[in-house]
C-alpha cells in the first residue's frame, strides 16, 4: 500500500540550474487533463501520458478529481494523530465500505489542528502515473484531491467560512458533488454524492437533501463548480454560488487557489 502524495524532489536552486520550466497545475479527471502554467490560458489533453510527452522536463502539481478519490473525516474524539494508527484506521474504514479491493488503494492522510482526513485513490493507477512522469523527466511536486485546492483563498475571500458556526461548501464536478461541512473552521464532514444529471435542477434537489441532513447550517451553502450543462440557471440554486461554469470549462480559480471577486 503506497502513499500517493509526493514531496518535492529537487531543490529550487537545482531546478534553476537545470533551467526547468515553471510549475504546471494539472487537474486529472476521468476524461483527461486540464493544465495551467503561470498566467496562460488552460489547456486540455487526452491523458496524463500524453501531457507528459508534450511537456517533457517540466514540473507538475496534480489535483485529482473526486471521481478518482474516496475520503473520510476521522472523528477527532478517536485521538488518532500519528500517521501509522491513522492510516490503519482509514484502511479499515475503506475496506468496510468498499470491499477487499480497497486494501491495495494508495492512501494519503492529513492531520492538523485536531482534525484528520484520509483519502484513497481508487480509479487511477498511481504507479503508472509515476512511471509516465519519470519516462519524460516530469517532476511531480505534489498530488492532492481537488476538493482541497481552493480552500486557502476561499477562506480569505469568505472569512466567515472558517469562523464560528456551521457552514457547508459544495464542489461540483459534473455529476459529482463533494460536500464539505465545517464547524468553527474545522472540517467535520466530507461526503460525495452523485447527481442524476449535470443540471441545475438535479443540483438544487441534491443541495436541499444535503442541507437537511446537515442542519442546522449558519448560512446558505457555498457552491463552486464546473461541468453543469445549464449553468446560466445557477441563480435558481438554494445557495450562494461563487463559481459555477459550463460543461466546456473548469474553474481555474478553484484549481489554482485564486478564489475571489470575479473568479
Rounded CA separation 44/220 (Å): 34
| Rounded CA separation 150/117 (Å) | 17
**Left if phi > 0, otherwise alpha if psi is -120 to 50, otherwise beta: which for 234?**
alpha
At residue 118's C-alpha, the angle toward residues 117 and 121, to 5°, is: 145
The arrangement of strands across the sheet holding 222-226 comes to: 186-194, 176-183, 166-173, 222-226, 240-244
| Contact in structure between 28 and 48 (CB atoms under 8 Å) | yes
What cell numbers appear for 3 in the block? Answer: 502513499
* Contact assessment for residue 121 and residue 182, using Cβ atoms and an 8 Å cutoff: no
Domains of the chain: 1-146 (3.30.420.380), 149-255 (3.30.420.40)
Query: For position 144, what pLDDT does the model report?
Result: 92
Q: What is the pLDDT of residue 20?
A: 56
Q: Using CB atoms within 10 A of its CB, is residue 157 exposed (0-12), middle (13-18) or buried (19+)? A: middle
**pLDDT the model gives residue 9:** 36
pLDDT for the residue numbered 263: 66
pLDDT at 109: 87
Question: 122-159 pLDDT, tens per residue?
Answer: 999 999 999 999 999 999 998 999 999 999 999 999 99
pLDDT for the residue numbered 14: 40
The C-alpha cell that represents 107 in the structure block: 492512501
pLDDT given for residue 163 in this prediction: 85
Q: Are strands 43-45 and 115-121 parallel, antiparallel or unpaired?
A: unpaired
107 Cβ contact partners less than 8 Å away, ≥ 6 residues apart: 1, 3, 4, 87, 90, 91, 94, 118, 119, 120, 121
pLDDT beneath 50: ranges in the chain: 1-3, 6-18
Amino acid at each position: 500500500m503506497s502513499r500517493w502524495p509526493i514531496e518535492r524532489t529537487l531543490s529550487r536552486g537545482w531546478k534553476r540550474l537545470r533551467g526547468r520550466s515553471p510549475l504546471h497545475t494539472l487537474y486529472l479527471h476521468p476524461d483527461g487533463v486540464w493544465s495551467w502554467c503561470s498566467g496562460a490560458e488552460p489547456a486540455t489533453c487526452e491523458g496524463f501520458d500524453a501531457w507528459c510527452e508534450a511537456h517533457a522536463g517540466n514540473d507538475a502539481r496534480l489535483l485529482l478529481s473526486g471521481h478518482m478519490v474516496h475520503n473520510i473525516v476521522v472523528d477527532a474524539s478517536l485521538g488518532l494523530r500519528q500517521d501509522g494508527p491513522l492510516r490503519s484506521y482509514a484502511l479499515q474504514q475503506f475496506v468496510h465500505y468498499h470491499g477487499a479491493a480497497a486494501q491495495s488503494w494508495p492512501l494519503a492522510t492529513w492531520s492538523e489542528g485536531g482534525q484528520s482526513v484520509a483519502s484513497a485513490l481508487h480509479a487511477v493507477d498511481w504507479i503508472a502515473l509515476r512511471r509516465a512522469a519519470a519516462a519524460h523527466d516530469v517532476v511531480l511536486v505534489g498530488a492532492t484531491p481537488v476538493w482541497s485546492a481552493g480552500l486557502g483563498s476561499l477562506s480569505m475571500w469568505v472569512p466567515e467560512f472558517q469562523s464560528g458556526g456551521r457552514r457547508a461548501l459544495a464542489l461540483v464536478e459534473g455529476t459529482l458533488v463533494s460536500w464539505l461541512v465545517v464547524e468553527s473552521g474545522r472540517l467535520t464532514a466530507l461526503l460525495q454524492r452523485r447527481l442524476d444529471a449535470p443540471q441545475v435542477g438535479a443540483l438544487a434537489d441534491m443541495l436541499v437533501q444535503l442541507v437537511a441532513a446537515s442542519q442546522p447550517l449558519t448560512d446558505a451553502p457555498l457552491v463552486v463548480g464546473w461541468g453543469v450543462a445549464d449553468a446560466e440557471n445557477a441563480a435558481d440554486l438554494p445557495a450562494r454560488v461563487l463559481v459555477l461554469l459550463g460543461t466546456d470549462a473548469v474553474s481555474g480559480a478553484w484549481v489554482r487557489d485564486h478564489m475571489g471577486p470575479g473568479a
